[in-house]
Each structure stands twice: as structure tokens, then as C-alpha cells.
């Protein structure tokens, strides 16, 4: 057994997790300045969120749902001044191997940040992911100073690590035993009553782009489709394994899969290819989740109208996240799909980022008034809480949702 596997196994032991939790709580209390009054509510209720995701209720408060938040925004909100943002970003994009103390320590702090931020802001869940050591390609841009000292990690759009069959054969594919569950187990143990873990999973199409580069993937989907299929199959098997193990843990409440498949005009690849080779594999992944009777949320940016019915009827997603006003405002998507899907978020990123607080408040109310009465809706951003979203706008969205819920409970 290699050293990383040994480390994984050690870290997953109940004793170590309990000890780490005690330490983690102390760390959280020391480093973070929580402001619970900014949050949606003081008491989380994952069972209610589950009913919203499965469209089993039209009553009760509208929850907040975000797929993830940039570490800078969370650290700023929690007042954690020396939070290791660089390492957290690398971990978030799964480009930092968790095989050294520096990364492990940063990862542990990141878990604590996510837990405390989620609890403070009144979410019913916190998000983390099992460790699956797939090497991924990325660019990093040092745009510090010019843009507020922040840098981002970007997908390589032109080429990736796997450019051809030879590279596929030589790729260091992880084995199921390389999967580490510490983040999920730790979070499940640390979360307070009422909260559960939403397991984040990179989608297979997302990983195809990361491993091959989108342009290379696009060309190969026509000229060498079997290569793409073989990579997708490897990724599917790993996802099935990671989720099968994660979903069997107590206090895991659901799965959030990130799977951007669309541009503004339509799907990135031909819908025929998606239907034949990607959709059936996504279905296998969802089936694993459904075996544990957990809800499955799909995050997908862009216009994926061409495959929405496939995602609903074949793949079996319960909820969809990520909406852009430039493509279709969330209310219109809600109108079209709310009888089949829960619709999550949709407060447009441009408004959240560049808009005035009053406009954010107005739009939040507008969406809530349209969608909330029907059930199967949760408020949130149209994509993620990116580092460049002003905190006051984010708080405004939360505050308006809080007011809406209060008024609703008094009716």
C-alpha cells in the first residue's frame, strides 16, 4: 500500500476524526469572527431542504443554496485574516495533491472555514468532497494588485494532459483505494444538529474538459470518439466509487455535481454525442446516489435546453442550479420546469457583482414572489459566490430572503 493510501486510512479513523473535530472547533473560535445576525436563520433544517429539493413541500421557509463559495469571500465574511487562500483555491480545484503537511493543514483550515461560514450564514448543509487524486490542468493568473490582490485558477481551454491515446494509457489513473473520505467524514462529524453534508462531485464532462482541454475534447469527439468514451468511462467508475462510499456515511444529505455543458447559444458538444455517451454515464452516477435515497443536484452553466429532458427523464436529477439572465431568467426556467425539478438560485452574477444593493434586494424579492409559493425553489446566486461579489450585495440577498420568510410565516 503506498504512503498516500496509508495516510488516507489513518485520517479516516474515528478516533482521529473526533480529535480533529475538537481541535477544529477551537481553531474556528480562535480565527473567525462570526456574525450570525447576517445569516438567514439560526437553526438549520436539512430535512426541510431535502423536501424542497424533492418538491415535497410548498410550505416553510425558502432555503439558501449555493454550490460553493470562493475562499476569499468566505474568509472575508468570517474575518479570518491569515487564511491560506492560495492553497485553498488549489485544493478547491483539486490541483494540489494532499500528500504533504502544508497542503493537509491548508485543507483542514478550508474545511473549518466552509463549516463555520455555512453555519453562520444559515445554510442547512455544508459542501465538501472526497479526495480523488486525479491530476488536472489549469492556468493560474497572477493578477494581484491590478485586481484587488486576487488570483483565479482557470481551465485550460485548448489542451490538457490527455491529448491522445498514448497519454490516456500513460495517465496515472487513481484506483478506488486511492479515494480519501476524510473531508466528508470530518465534516459530517463536525456539523451541528440540523445540518448535513452535501457532497460535491466533479462531473465527468467537467473532468473531460479539465483533462483534455475543451478544444481538444471537441475535436476528438468527432475524430476519435472512442478515446473520449474511454476517458469518460474511467471517470464514471471513479465517481461511482467515490459517491457510493460518501453517500453511505451518516450525516451525508445529498450530492451536488458540477457539470458545465453549455455555452450561451447551446450545448458545448453536439447533443447527440452527449445523449449517447455522457447522459448514460451521468445516469449511472445518479443511480448510485439514489440507492442511498439522497437528492441529486446538477449544476450546469450555459444553455443546455437541448438535453434538459434527458437530464430529467434519463439521468433523473432532482434539482438544477446555475442560471443566467442573459440566457433565460430563472423565473422562466422555473415556470417551464418546476413540475419536474427543483430550481435553485438564479440571482444573476452580473447584478450580484456590479449592481447596487437596492437593485439586488428588488430582484431577490421579485424572484421569491414568483417562485417560492410553488415550492421547489431555493434562493442563491446564479453561479457561485465568486471572490468578486461584494459582501454587502450577498448579505442583501440573504436579508431579503429572511424578510420574505418572516412575512410568509406570519401570513
Partner 1 sequence: MKKLAEYIKYGKGVETANRVKQLINEGANPETLLNDAMIPVMDEVGALFQSGEFFMPEMLIAARAMQQGMDIIKPILVAKGIKPMGTVVIGTVEGDLHDLGKNLVIIALEGAGFKVVDLGVDVPAAKFINAIKDHNPLAVGLSALLSSTMLVMKDTVAKIQKAHAEKKVKIMIGGAPLNNEFAQEINADFFGVDPASAKDFVRSLL
Q: What 3 state SS string does the chain have?
A: CCHHHHHHHHHCCHHHHHHHHHHHHHHHHHHCCCCHHHCCCCCCCHHHHHHHHCCCCCCCCCCECCCCECHHHHHHHHCCCCCCHHHHHHHHCCCCCCCCHHHHHHHHHHHHHHHHHHHHCCCCEEEECCECCCCCCCEEECCCCCCCCCCEEECCCCCCCCCCHHHHHHCCCCCHHHCECHHHHHHHHHCCCCCEEEEEEECHHHHHHHHHCHHHHHHHHHHCHHHHHHHHHHHHHHHHHHHHHHHCCCCEEEEEEECCCECCCCECCCHHHHHHHHHHHHHHHHHHHHHCCCCEEEECCCCCHHHHHHHHHHHCCCEEECCCCCCCCHHHHHHHHCCCCEEECCECHHHHHHCCHHHHHHHHHHHHHHHHHHCCEEECECCCECCCCCHHHHHHHHHHHHHHHHHHHHC
Question: Of 139, 165, 291, 356, which one interacts with partner 1 (CB under 8 A)?
Answer: 139
Question: Of 20, 126, 261, 268, which one interacts with partner 1 (CB under 8 A)?
Answer: 268
**Under a CB-based contact definition with an 8 Å cutoff, are residues 395 and 347 in contact?**
no
Interface stretch with partner 1, choices 50-58, 138-146, 190-198, 241-249 (CB under 8 A): 138-146
Question: Of 42, 57, 58, 158, which one interacts with partner 1 (CB under 8 A)?
Answer: 158
Interaction of residue 406 with partner 1, rule CB under 8 A: no
N- to C-terminal Cα distance for the chain?
A: 61
Interaction of residue 157 with partner 1, rule CB under 8 A: yes
Interaction of residue 93 with partner 1, rule CB under 8 A: no
Interaction of residue 359 with partner 1, rule CB under 8 A: no
CB 209 to partner 1: min, Å: 10
Interaction of residue 250 with partner 1, rule CB under 8 A: no
Q: In the window 271-310, what residues touch partner 1 (CB under 8 A)? A: 302, 306
Question: Of 6, 13, 105, 263, which one interacts with partner 1 (CB under 8 A)?
Answer: 263
CB 39 to partner 1: min, Å: 24
Count, residues in the chain: 411
Question: Of 264, 291, 369, 392, which one interacts with partner 1 (CB under 8 A)?
Answer: 264
Interaction of residue 145 with partner 1, rule CB under 8 A: no
Q: Closer to partner 1 at the Cβ: 215 or 335?
A: 215
Binding mask 368-397 for partner 1 (x = CB under 8 A): ------------------x-x---------
Interaction of residue 266 with partner 1, rule CB under 8 A: yes
How many residues sit close enough to partner 1 to count as binding (CB under 8 A)?
Answer: 35
Q: What is the CB-side half-sphere exposure of residue 368 using CA atoms within 13 A?
A: 25
Interface stretch with partner 1, choices 1-9, 198-206, 266-274, 371-379 (CB under 8 A): 266-274
Interaction of residue 221 with partner 1, rule CB under 8 A: yes
CB 162 to partner 1: min, Å: 17
Helix (H) or strand (E) holding 243: helix 225-247
CB 188 to partner 1: min, Å: 33
Interface stretch with partner 1, choices 104-112, 147-155, 163-171, 358-366 (CB under 8 A): 147-155
Interface stretch with partner 1, choices 45-53, 128-136, 314-322, 346-354 (CB under 8 A): 346-354
Interaction of residue 349 with partner 1, rule CB under 8 A: yes
Residues lying near partner 1 in the complex (CB under 8 A): 139, 141, 143, 146-147, 152, 154, 157-158, 214-215, 218-219, 221-223, 263-270, 302, 306, 324, 326, 349-350, 352-354, 386, 388
Amino acid at each position: 500500500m503506498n504512503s498516500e493510501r496509508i495516510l488516507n486510512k489513518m485520517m479516516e479513523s474515528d478516533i482521529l476524526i473526533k480529535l480533529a473535530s475538537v481541535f477544529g472547533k477551537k481553531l474556528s473560535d480562535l480565527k473567525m469572527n462570526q456574525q450570525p445576525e447576517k445569516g438567514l436563520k439560526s437553526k438549520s433544517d436539512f430535512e426541510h431542504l431535502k423536501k424542497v429539493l424533492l418538491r415535497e413541500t410548498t410550505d416553510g421557509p425558502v432555503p439558501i443554496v449555493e454550490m460553493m463559495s470562493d475562499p476569499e469571500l468566505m474568509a472575508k465574511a468570517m474575518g479570518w485574516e491569515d487564511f491560506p487562500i492560495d492553497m485553498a483555491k488549489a485544493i478547491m480545484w483539486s490541483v494540489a495533491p494532499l500528500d504533504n503537511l502544508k497542503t493537509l493543514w491548508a485543507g483542514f483550515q478550508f474545511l473549518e472555514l466552509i463549516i463555520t461560514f455555512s453555519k453562520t450564514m444559515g445554510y442547512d448543509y455544508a459542501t465538501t468532497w472526497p479526495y480523488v487524486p486525479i491530476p488536472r490542468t489549469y492556468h493560474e493568473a497572477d493578477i494581484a494588485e491590478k485586481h484587488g490582490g486576487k488570483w483565479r485558477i482557470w481551465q485550460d481551454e485548448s489542451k490538457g494532459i490527455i491529448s491522445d491515446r498514448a497519454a490516456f494509457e500513460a495517465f496515472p489513473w487513481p484506483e478506488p483505494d486511492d479515494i480519501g473520505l476524510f473531508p466528508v467524514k470530518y465534516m459530517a462529524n463536525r456539523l451541528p444538529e440540523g445540518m448535513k453534508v452535501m457532497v460535491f462531485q466533479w462531473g465527468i464532462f467537467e473532468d473531460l474538459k479539465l483533462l483534455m482541454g475543451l478544444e481538444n475534447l471537441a475535436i476528438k469527439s468527432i475524430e476519435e470518439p472512442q478515446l473520449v468514451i474511454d476517458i469518460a468511462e474511467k471517470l464514471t467508475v471513479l465517481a461511482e466509487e467515490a459517491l457510493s462510499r460518501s453517500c453511505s456515511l451518516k450525516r451525508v444529505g445529498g450530492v451536488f455535481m458540477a457539470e458545465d455543458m453549455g455555452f450561451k447559444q447551446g450545448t458545448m458538444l453536439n447533443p447527440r454525442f452527449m445523449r449517447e455517451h455522457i447522459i448514460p454515464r451521468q445516469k449511472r452516477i445518479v443511480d448510485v446516489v439514489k440507492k442511498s435515497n439522497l437528492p441529486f443536484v446538477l449544476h450546469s452553466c450555459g444553455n443546455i435546453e437541448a438535453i434538459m429532458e434527458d437530464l430529467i427523464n434519463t439521468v433523473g436529477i432532482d434539482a438544477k442550479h446555475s442560471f443566467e439572465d442573459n440566457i433565460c431568467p430563472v423565473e422562466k426556467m422555473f415556470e417551464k420546469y418546476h413540475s419536474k425539478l427543483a430550481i435553485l438560485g438564479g440571482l444573476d452574477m452580473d447584478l450580484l457583482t456590479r449592481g447596487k444593493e437596492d437593485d439586488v434586494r428588488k430582484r431577490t424579492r421579485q424572484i421569491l414572489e414568483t417562485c417560492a409559493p410553488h415550492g421547489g425553489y431555493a434562493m442563491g446566486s446564479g453561479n457561485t459566490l465568486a471572490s468578486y461579489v461584494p459582501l454587502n450585495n450577498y448579505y442583501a440577498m440573504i436579508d431579503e430572503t429572511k424578510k420574505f420568510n418572516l412575512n410568509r410565516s406570519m401570513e
